[in-house]
Amino acid sequence: EAEVAQSPRYKITEKSQAVAFWCDPISGHATLYWYRQILGQGPELLVQFQDESVVDDSQLPKDRFSAERLKGVDSTLKIQPAELGDSAMYLCASSLSKDRSGKLFFGSGTQLSVL
Amino acid sequence: QKEVEQNSGPLSVPEGAIASLNCTYSDRGSQSFFWYRQYSGKSPELIMFIYSNGDKEDGRFTAQLNKASQYVSLLIRDSQPSDSATYLCAVNMEGGSEKLVFGKGTKLTVNP
């Protein structure tokens, strides 16, 4: 069964350091999402790509966060510098663009701890 | 701000009972509604979706939608301990980018 691949599974870093997360969506899924989920909260959309283009990054803290999907396939989310408040689960998800229905397939996530 | 509200619980039911999970949303123009299940430490998994007013049944799960009241619910019949998880309501808000907004989730515990 096709899955969304994410790495690393866990990341521990010190504040002010740079961190990067990688995501490979299900083959053929043109839409890719990065969500952040704080413990006890629902996922919050950070950025949405349609192929290689950003569709929505209104909630992305652009002073420290960046995201790219250069070839419209895999994607990288970067935080520089990391802050204590960035500790959360970072979830990547993908969907078929023609579906346009919100049926997202999530990866296993990256649990980030900033010390 | 477009919001999705859920009772955070926790909701506790005995095995075999019906669990009822509720959700309200602020955007009257929303058209698509989803329930995701999230086990502790795992990522969300889609279990139900509904687009039209009324009920939609899939096995032990029934989703109910009332657009006039801006209300969507999930019923789980014959609840099992394996149903113990957090249930996230998600709504596809209008705006062109098909933005999916999640509620905070309701934690359900099914007691044997």
* Pick from A19-23, A48-52, A110-114: least confident: A48-52
Res. A100: pLDDT tops 80? no
Q: Which pLDDT does position A97 carry in this prediction?
A: 67
pLDDT band at A51 (very low <50, low <70, confident <90, very high): very high
pLDDT over 70, % of chain A? 96
Q: Do A56 and B90 touch (CB under 8 A)?
A: no
Q: Which pLDDT does position B31 carry in this prediction?
A: 85
Closest-CA residue of chain B to A91: B43
Considering only residues B28 and B62, tell me which one the structure prediction assigns the higher pLDDT.
Answer: B62
Considering only residues A24 and B32, tell me which one the structure prediction assigns the higher pLDDT.
Answer: A24
Q: Which pLDDT does position B7 carry in this prediction?
A: 86
Res. A105: pLDDT tops 80? yes
Q: Check CB contact of A104 with chain B, cutoff 8 Å.
A: yes
Q: Which pLDDT does position A25 carry in this prediction?
A: 96
Chain B residues in contact with A102 (beta carbon < 8 A):
32, 34, 49, 90, 92, 98, 100
Res. B99: pLDDT tops 80? no
Q: Which pLDDT does position A9 carry in this prediction?
A: 96
Q: Check CB contact of A110 with chain B, cutoff 8 Å.
A: no
Mean pLDDT of chain B: 92
Mean pLDDT of chain A: 93
Q: Which pLDDT does position B98 carry in this prediction?
A: 63
pLDDT band at B8 (very low <50, low <70, confident <90, very high): confident
The mean pLDDT value for B7-19 works out to: 93
Q: Which pLDDT does position B10 carry in this prediction?
A: 92
Q: Are A35 and A91 spatial neighbours (Cβ–Cβ below 8 Å)?
A: yes
All residues at 6 or more sequence positions from A93 whose CB lies less than 8 Å from its CB, including other chains: A4, A32, A33, A35, A104, A105, A106, A107
Res. A16: pLDDT tops 90? yes
Chain A residues in contact with B107 (beta carbon < 8 A):
none
Strand partners, A78: A20, A66
Q: Check CB contact of A25 with chain B, cutoff 8 Å.
A: no
d(CA A68, CA A74): 9
Q: Which of A66, A65, A74 is CA-nearest to residue A30?
A: A74
Res. B17: pLDDT tops 70? yes
d(CA A38, CA A111): 10
Sign of the torsion angle spanned by Cα atoms A39, B97, B92, A7: negative
